Amino acid sequence: MKKIILSQVSKRYGEQAVVNDLDLDMADGEFVVLVGPSGCGKSTTLRMIAGLEDVSSGTIHIAGRDVTQLQPGERNIAMVFQNYALYPHKTVYENLAFGLRMRKVPAAEIETKVQWAAQMLGIESLLPRKPRQLSGGQMQRVSLGRALVRSPEVFLLDEPLSNLDAKLRIRMREEIAQLHKRVGTNMVYVTHDQVEAMTLGDRIVIMNQGKVQQVGRPLDVYDSPANLFVAGFIGAPEMNLIKGTLQDVRGQVVFQAPGITVPLGGAMPLAAKSGAGVVLGVRPEHASMEGEGNGPMGSVSLVEQLGAQTLTMLELDGGDQSVPGSPSRFRVLTGRRDNVQIGDRARLTMDISRIHLFDAVSGVNLKVA
């Protein structure tokens, strides 16, 4: 089994911990995405798996071997970089074949592997060209092909799509996903783009400040974020987060904030108590502006037409608009609505079953805790 196991892996520069006691177990053939903001430790983790960074403490196992102290060339891994790193004076064929020639692979085997990789990536017609004659997407395919011909146990991809325009990024994202299905080799992919993480990964690893915040399947993480950081980072448009308190009103739980009262029903979460400071989280698609009853009223302050969907910003009555993150501002994502205008009045309703509650101090999801 070609599993990848990181046990208590840390990377320190002096007293500064860049990655802190990371534990991760990746199954054979799994596509795992490391995602998080700049400086969170995701690229450092990838470079430690590759052997490009020394491990300060902990161990790394690939396919049953302890590779912690091995050089990159001894780990049977292939890495795809953000900058392609192609030899400008060599043809595409020579770029693909170069690593195999350095390993003294027989010429017939080199020919077979290069043609196989070129066919799989649809770049057979590009083999005689040089990198300056290629587009960004074509260069990225060649970079993938150079990794592919090595038949590695692990593919490591470090933000490989960040230099491409938006349309080409989507197309290459689809091609990488299809490539993984065809090859079936472990892939570890680093990105700061949560959309890439959600669409590519069998599992995603959300990191922040050198620590893993949550590991899980994309939709599991989206539906049940472990803490406030994950809730705010995963999802576009981002989750509405409102500071307030929980109150026990005649045995029913009520969330209260300036201008907002939300009866939650049911019992108080075990991890909370009446009067506790909490943050209520609601994804924009779990709210609407067509409800009746006691929901807060507000005025439309922004309308973004996204084609099939409409994103509307409501300024709720009773909120403090001068305070960033105030409950006065609330995003609502609906199906396409051509009749919404700035200044319209609307009543906000929320899907109570999809609401999240986070502890205001620790940030832990009280429904998950």
Report pLDDT for 214: 97
Residue type at 160 in one-letter notation: P
Kindly calculate the radius of gyration of the chain based on its CA atoms and give it in whole angstroms. 25
User: 243 in a domain, yes or no?
Assistant: yes
Helix (H, G, I), strand (E, B) or coil at 107: helix
Phi and psi, residue 82, nearest 5°:
-65, -35
Domain range enclosing 301 = 238-359
Report pLDDT for 325: 47
* Chain centre to alpha carbon of residue 50: 20
**CATH number, domain with residue 139:** 3.40.50.300
Residues 122 and 60 grouped into a single domain:
yes
Residues 45 and 189 grouped into a single domain:
yes
Phi and psi, residue 246, nearest 5°:
-100, 140
Report pLDDT for 270: 54
Please name the residues in contact with 1: beta carbons below 8 A apart, sequence gap of 6 or more.
28, 63, 64
Domain's final residue, options 209, 232, 255: 232
- What sign does the CA torsion over 83, 89, 93, 97 have? negative
Residues 220 and 315 grouped into a single domain:
no
User: 369 in a domain, yes or no?
Assistant: no
User: 79 in a domain, yes or no?
Assistant: yes
As averages over each run of 10 residues, the pLDDT of the chain (369 residues) reads 89 92 94 94 95 95 93 90 86 92 91 91 92 89 89 90 83 88 91 92 96 96 96 92 86 82 72 77 92 79 93 82 60 92 90 90 81
Residues 121 and 176 grouped into a single domain:
yes
State the number of CA atoms in the 13 A half-sphere of 357 facing the CB.
Answer: 25
- 92 in Cβ contact with 128 (< 8 Å): yes
pTM: 0.88
DSSP annotation of 353 reads: G
Report pLDDT for 168: 81
Residues 194 and 123 grouped into a single domain:
yes
How many structural domains comprise the chain?
2
* Chain centre to alpha carbon of residue 311: 22
Report pLDDT for 368: 58
Residues 67 and 216 grouped into a single domain:
yes
Residues 253 and 299 grouped into a single domain:
yes
Residues 77 and 146 grouped into a single domain:
yes
Domain's final residue, options 232, 248, 276: 232
